[in-house]
Every structure is written in C-alpha cells, then in structure tokens.
Amino acid sequence: MSMSISRILQYLLLLLGSFVAHALPLAPASAQNSIDIEFKDNGQTVGALPLDDLRAIAAVVSIKVFEVHEKTERIYRALPVRPVFDKVFGKDWEKAQEIIFTSIDGYQPSIPVVKLLAHDAYFAFPHEDGTPFTLTNRLQNNEIVQLGPLYLVWDNIKSKELLDAGASDMPYQIKRVELKFVAPFPNMVPPAGSSAKAQRGFMHFRQHCMACHTINGEGGGKAPELNYPVSVTEYIKPEYLKRWIVSPQSIRYNTTMPGITGAILDRETATEELIAYLKAMSNAKRIPANQ
C-alpha cells in the first residue's frame, strides 16, 4: 500500500519535473550551477570542483563592472581569479602562456597569462539568494543567457584598455579551465611568409573570432569552421564577406553572430586584415584533428 502511494508520488513528481522543465526555458540553471568545474594542466586534470568548494578557496567579494553585454553597470558576487589559480594549479600557473576557458555552449577563448597578471579578473557566480544568474546579450540578438556555473569578468570600470576589448575574453558558462605552456593552436597560425596584413588579421581573429569559430578544427565549437575543407573566402562573394563581418544582421536578421566591435578598432581596416588572414589560411588547409 505505502509502496504504491510512493510510486504514484514519484510519478507525479516526474510529471511535474518535466512540466517545469518545458515551461521554463532557463530550467537547466541548477544543473549548470551544480556541475564540477574542471581544471587541466597541459592535458592532465588536476581538479574537478563543485561551486561550493571553489567558493571556499578565496574570499568572496562584490565587484562592480561595466557589463559589456548589457551596456550597463552590474554588481556580481565573485572570486578573484589569481588566488583561485594559486590554490588549484600552484604558483607556476604564472609561467604558462595561455589559459583556455571552455563554456558549456562551446565558446572557447584563449586568454594570454600576461593579461591575467596585468588586470584583475574575477569568477562571478550566482547569488546565494537564487536570483537568476542570467543576462540579456545585446551583442547576440538579445539572447537571454545563463551565466553559471562561472562567468569571467574584469575590473573594467576604470580601464579604457579593458573597455575597448569589448566582450572578448568574457566567457560565461565556464566548465573547464586549462593551462597551456606551449603556444596553443599551431594550425591556426598563418603560413610562413604571409603578409604583415594577414599577420595583423590573425591578431584580430584571435581576439574577436576564435572563441566561436574554428580554423582547421582549432578554436571554439560555438560556430562553423571557416577554412576546411572549403574556405569562406572561396564561396562567399568578397563584398558580402566584408559586410558579414562588420554587420552580420544586415544579411541574416536573426543571426547570433555579433558584428566586429571595439572602440579602438578601425573596423574597415580590421575587416580587410581579417580577410587577408582568412585568404592566407585558405592556402594552409589542414585536416582537423579528431574528426
């Protein structure tokens, strides 16, 4: 008797659970916040920590930042990145070249260690009171995005340099952090003898594109490969390629790709340099690894 009542209760809970999951598009929040954050050092996992353990590593602060995605100021509960890394990786993390952050949605920026040493970065996490940990991404078609489990923010209010970097190097939904002691992404580097223009284009690509896109399979998994087997410079008419990079929504109204931004950038020149880079890479195709 009691057995069957508990069965029925279980069934009702299941039903309720699936109803709630469908009714609320943001329902995976708790799942996202409860996953372990993985820390890797040159391919080896050195730690996998739930948020609660991470929060115990360093003193939690409230940090006010200019929220680039919403173009307004916001206050986050956060942990300073450097003491967290000291604890998880040991002090030698400072000798690494780059740190690759991987998000649940495939976004994957690689941030130079010198930038993390020169500026104050923080891992923001949900408020303990359960306020939704989301933002409206004005740069991506006003999508409402989950920020958890961790969101990387910078103390940018007084730094013109950080403000100019726009939304680059601000991954949300961080699930993995990996140290790289050798330069990552060898197959994305323009071939020897490429023009200075293509080299500058590569720098823009690293800063503004590779967190979402891959070249020869290297980079982020949030957006399409741009070079292999056929380069975008081979099948998109030049004038449309240029327009796409500057203002993708003028071509596809509901695209989530942001146009190239950043106050320091002369967009016209930057776009030409980016295209020079993409053309150089079309002569350096490599079969993506593990595909």
Per CB under 6 A, the segment of 27-35, 47-55, 181-189, 239-247 that binds ligand HEC is 239-247
d(CA 211, CA 74): 24
How far does Cα 209 stand from its chain's mean position?
11
Query: Which x/- pattern over 127-156 shows residues binding ligand HEC (rule: CB under 6 A)?
Result: -------------x----------------
Residue of 134, 121, 122 whose CA lies nearest to 78? 122
d(CA 91, CA 135): 33
Query: Which x/- pattern over 189-218 shows residues binding ligand HEC (rule: CB under 6 A)?
Result: -------------------xx-xxx-----
Query: Which x/- pattern over 252-291 shows residues binding ligand HEC (rule: CB under 6 A)?
Result: x--xxxx-x-------------x-----------------
Given a contact cutoff of 8 angstroms between Cβ atoms, the answer to whether 273 and 190 are in contact is no
Contacts of 224 (CB under 8 A, 6+ apart): 213, 214
d(CA 8, CA 6): 5
Tell me how far, at minimum, the Cβ of 244 lies from ligand HEC, in Å: 5
Residue with Cβ nearer ligand HEC (64 or 252): 252
Supply angle C-alpha 211, 263, 69, rounded to 5.
Answer: 50
Per CB under 6 A, the segment of 1-9, 45-53, 170-178, 244-252 that binds ligand HEC is 244-252
Q: Enumerate binding residues for ligand HEC (CB under 6 A).
A: 140, 208-209, 211-213, 222-224, 226, 232, 241, 244-245, 252, 255-258, 260, 274
